[in-house]
Amino acid sequence: MASIKYLFLSLTILLIGTCSWQKSFAQQHTPADTDTTVLTQMRKIFYGLKFNDIKDDALVTIKDMPKDSPVLIIYFKTDCGHCRMDAERMPQIAAAYKIPIWMASYQSKTELSAFATEFKLDKVPNLRILNDFSKGMHNWFDFKYVPFIVLVDAKGNFIKEFDRLPKPEELQEIIRTNDFLEMYQK
């Protein structure tokens, strides 16, 4: 009888621990805005964010987003292991995304230029490397890990957050099936 009580107690503790871990994991990989209704997510617009393009030092704002395509924005750090792995793959897979990709970081233009050169990102036609000089994106989205990857529409409306770099076909399916992106569906 004592062994049954011990077994029951052990299973209860294990179950509580597992549930706590899952909740903690979900909180790490869930956007700060936990209301996941599409309408609520769409209200998360990033007006006012400003970047500098490291190629020509041009100011880049929401007005510079392509009018005919959503944009995949990847917020990264040059010393982040996952960010480096994604950057290494980017020259081979960027064209398969079929949409513009903006990679942004608060790090200096010198660090970003060295990173772009190291991974040949400056040769990828649909990719821009941006300096988030005001750290506005980090403050706006309040993310806790990098790479932080988000899909936004041409007006800067939040569509979806990813906890990893999505496969091109996964991203195309999201674009194809998202009601708010029907202008891009073909």
pLDDT tens column, 101-115: 999 999 999 999 999
**pLDDT > 70? residue 157:** yes
Mean pLDDT, the chain, rounded, equals 79
Q: How far is the CA of 36 from the CAs of 44, 52, 58, 99, 142, in angstroms?
A: 11, 31, 34, 24, 16
Fold of 38-184: Glutaredoxin (3.40.30)
For residues 32 and 142, give the distance between their C-alpha atoms in angstroms, rounded to a whole number.
7
Extents of the domains making up the chain? 1-30, 38-184
**pLDDT > 50? residue 186:** no
22-31, 139-148, 175-184: segment of lowest average pLDDT: 22-31
**In this structure, which amino acid lies at residue 103?**
M
Q: What is the DSSP letter of 167?
A: P
Maximum CA extent, the chain: 76
**pLDDT > 90? residue 121:** yes
Sequence-distant (6+) residues with CB within 8 A of 44 are 33, 141, 157, 158
pLDDT at 68: 86
pLDDT confidence tier of residue 17, bands split at 50, 70 and 90: low
pLDDT at 135: 83
Beta bridge partners of 73: 102, 150
